[in-house]
Structure 1
Amino acid sequence: MKHSRPDFPKGFLFGTATSAYQIEGHAFGGAGRTHWDDFAATPGNVVRAEDGAKACDHYHRYEDDLDLVAGAGFDVYRFSTSWARVMPDGQTVNAQGLDFYDRLVDAMLERGLKPAATLYHWELPSALADAGGWRNRATTDHFARFTEALMTRIGDRVWSAAPINEPWCVAWLSHFLGHQAPGLRDIRATARAMHHVLVAHGRSIEVMRGLGMKNLGGVFNFEWSTPADDSDETKLAAERYDAIYNRWFLGAATKGEYPALVLEGLEPHMPANWQDDMGLISQPLDWVGLNYYTRKVIAHDPGPWPHVRECDGPLPKTFMGWEIFPQGLGNFLRRATTEYTGDTPLYVTENGMAAPDPLVDGGVQDDDRIAFIDDHLDQVQDAIDDGVPVQGYFVWSLMDNYEWSLGYEKRFGLVHVDFDTLARTPKASYHALAKALKD
């Protein structure tokens, strides 16, 4: 790698990230059924109908996995917790689930790692999905009780906490586009999910503040939106995509407002008196996390709202088919500070790429991933030089894992996982980062 730790300000934190359902093995430890299990069991939703029952068996192998995190020289381990592991029916506490996260946090601290907790990374208990899931405002109350049960146990030892990972995926991708659980394509469900997931964020922050916790933030995902041509209607379509994907959630959480370009389509379907929730949603955060992977080239669609069509772009692509556009990360870091967050610290909470990553002669030479990380660190460094308060960068992901509707065939990890034997093999990118972080 061309970058190393001394290139960044003193105290800048490097980390790596995972999520509970993608690595733990949901069949273990008394975890309850989730809407992801249901989605995966429905033909056509997930590659080979694969689910997270075994995943990477992190539930049993977490100590070895944390040795890998520490061995790379990372400062922070960003992990998520499973609601259905802690509360199998969404409401009743499972002691085994709390015990697991208790052990996990202690094991991080024993290795000198800062535990960065995300409470929800998409695994809604099926019992709550039966009651309407994120369409139902009662889910926000259940989420507050989940927050209290979990953080009463581990909140005294986590370095940071955020309620919900990537609310756009929880709400829009899953309720309007139907690509993830619960797999709906319903504008009224979307409007309610888009709002309720933010109410849940606010309720969770409120609970954690009440427990005396510090260093609380929100994690949002971003895609740079580029018009496919210079026509006014195409530019407007790109602005609307940007408003849905990038501005709705960050704007609500930091300024208490939704963009007009999205309300024009969603407001007729919003819950009654939604405006009354904006103070709860926008209570102050100690930091904001940005997950960034790609950009989208957008054209006008003459069909129904939102009149947006994604086009194939000309840039090199990852194994996901996502364009590699590092400049988008720098753009978002500057925009967040200028338009939304001011002096609030920013973290790049996810950044990484998928590649085929074949294991050859006992190793994986993933030079493309090393270049990807280097190019994005260029953008972080430039933003810092411009005065943006970026305080950390976390790679997605520690290891190859269950990639949701794409099953186990897309590999994002710094560590290769053989999904038959579950053997872990650090890739060239892992070794390059370990050297860079120890320089």
Structure 2
Amino acid sequence: MTRQFPDGFLWGAATAAHQIEGGNVASDWWKLEHRPDGPCAEPSGDACDSYHRYPEDVAIVAGLGLGSYRFSIEWSRIEPEPGEFSRVQLDHYRRMIATVLDAGLRPTVTLHHFTSPFWFTKGGGWARADSADRFLRYCETVAPLLTEAAYVCTFNEPNIAASFARYFEPGYVAPAGLPDPDSRISDGLTRAHLRVRDALRAEVGPRVGWAVATQSFSGVDGPDELSAAYAYERETRFLEVAVDDDWLGVQAYSRTIVGPDGPLPVSDETERTLMDWEYYPEALGSALREAHRIAPRVPLIVTENGIAAADDRRRIDYVRTALGEVLTAIDDGVDVRGYFYWSLLDNFEWAHGYRPTFGLVAVDRDTFARIPRPSAHWLGAVARANALDAD
């Protein structure tokens, strides 16, 4: 059976500057990666050299038949020191956006994807009272680049950014899993999002939102008060912020089952991804429904979904099931406007380094050669048909 997506449904692949560009030396994460007691398995280094090779990446997205390329602009390149803006870097991202447009793609641009300039984080980061002013200054500087963007995303996964912020605290020892979020950071990110959203609407129109990591929280026997309470600071409050946004990004990979003492470990009998997450593509359906429940009037976009897998056949299986969840949600009245796979390339996965391979496209770590996987061509065929076959 073939199931059709709505007319105008936007298909794309996503990346982030720090994870693919390489040499992001003015950023806080670059410093963190080189700290002896830091949480990272390895430094990002040259990443995928996409700072220079972005035309090849854009050509791959267009060649697959996708309609949009989601990427981020790197704040620490634009403003390497407070108030010091680089015309060279602004020109670089202007050329990149022009390349995307010339390829017939619609750019979807993220303004902050986890990394900040080192000077910003060292000076107190999002906990500072004037952090929104500082971020707004950068966003207003890049706003002229965004006039032809399909969508503008202020922050990628602010709920995860609020957890990552703990890594930068002096003397902080990283736990085995993701740190608990810092509410001061969550508040600062929220203030900055609202300021920038309202300011950018005057420049780019009603195309501004943010993308939240949704983790399909539930109790052992389904939704309950315990899992809802656990989810609030880690997800729900960020969905609530979006009720007046132009769109809301939903990013889902797996689920989190919460017991009396917190999240339960994934059992040894359960299939896991290379991120050590449960293989659970159905999480996307529950994530879309939860976002719709909280922000029912806001269009949703799946700004990230995918799997870190050694076996590309499991990548296709995963995405097929996840897309089926999207279609079922649409049938149930959820307004979903697009789907972006994470990620276009095998890249630097933060504390995990280069071991987890999410990419539709493999990247040779020595030569940076791009090798599209069968899953890339499969997803391209789905996008061109705007339809999903059951098998």
TM-score by length of 2: 0.91
Q: Which of residues 337, 341, 353 is equivalent to 2:295?
A: 341
Counterpart of 2:260 in structure 1 is 300
Counterpart of 1:352 in structure 2 is 306
Indicate conservation of the 8 Å contact 1:237/1:298, yes or no. yes
Deviations 1:394-422 (A, max 9, x none): 10000101111111111110000011111
Counterpart of 2:326 in structure 1 is 380
Q: Which of residues 106, 113, 116 is equivalent to 1:121?
A: 113
Counterpart of 2:277 in structure 1 is 322
Q: Does 1:20 align with 2:17?
A: yes
Instruction: Name the amino acid aligned to 2:158.
Output: P
Q: 1: distance between equivalents of 2:199 and 2:117? A: 20
Counterpart of 2:149 in structure 1 is 158
Q: 2: distance between equivalents of 1:189 and 1:398? A: 28
Aligned-residue Cα RMSD (Å) equals: 2.4
Instruction: Name the amino acid aligned to 1:45.
Output: G
TM-score by length of 1: 0.81
Secondary structure, aligned partner of 1:49: coil
Q: Describe the shift of the 1:13–1:229 C-alpha distance in structure 2 as closer, same or farther (beyond 3 A).
A: closer
Matches within 5 A, 1:58-97: 58-97=50-89
Counterpart of 2:31 in structure 1 is 38
Q: 2: distance between equivalents of 1:432 and 1:206? A: 39
Report percent identity of matched pairs.
35
- Once the 2 structures are TM-superposed, how far is the Cα of residue 203 of structure 1 from its aligned partner? 1.3
Indicate conservation of the 8 Å contact 2:256/2:263, yes or no. no
Q: 2: distance between equivalents of 1:188 and 1:285? A: 26
Indicate conservation of the 8 Å contact 2:250/2:291, yes or no. no
Indicate the larger mover: 15-24 or 206-215.
206-215
Q: Describe the shift of the 1:37–1:173 C-alpha distance in structure 2 as closer, same or farther (beyond 3 A).
A: closer
Q: Describe the shift of the 1:341–1:166 C-alpha distance in structure 2 as closer, same or farther (beyond 3 A).
A: same
- Once the 2 structures are TM-superposed, how far is the Cα of residue 309 of structure 1 from its aligned partner? 3.9
Indicate conservation of the 8 Å contact 2:217/2:256, yes or no. yes
- Once the 2 structures are TM-superposed, how far is the Cα of residue 90 of structure 1 from its aligned partner? 4.3
Higher-Rg member (1/2) = 1
Q: Which of residues 223, 227, 241 is equivalent to 2:230?
A: 241
Indicate conservation of the 8 Å contact 1:98/1:150, yes or no. yes
Deviations 1:132-177 (A, max 9, x none): 111112221110000000112x0222121010000011112432xx
Indicate conservation of the 8 Å contact 1:318/1:324, yes or no. yes
Report how many aligned residue pairs link the two structures. 380
Counterpart of 2:357 in structure 1 is 411
Q: 2: distance between equivalents of 1:382 and 1:291? A: 17
Deviations 1:5-58 (A, max 9, x none): x7211111111100000011135xxxx51110111111243454312x311111
- Once the 2 structures are TM-superposed, how far is the Cα of residue 184 of structure 1 from its aligned partner? 4.7
Counterpart of 2:314 in structure 1 is 368
Q: Describe the shift of the 1:383–1:48 C-alpha distance in structure 2 as closer, same or farther (beyond 3 A).
A: closer
Q: Describe the shift of the 1:343–1:13 C-alpha distance in structure 2 as closer, same or farther (beyond 3 A).
A: same
Instruction: Name the amino acid aligned to 2:266.
Output: D
Instruction: Name the amino acid aligned to 1:157.
Output: E
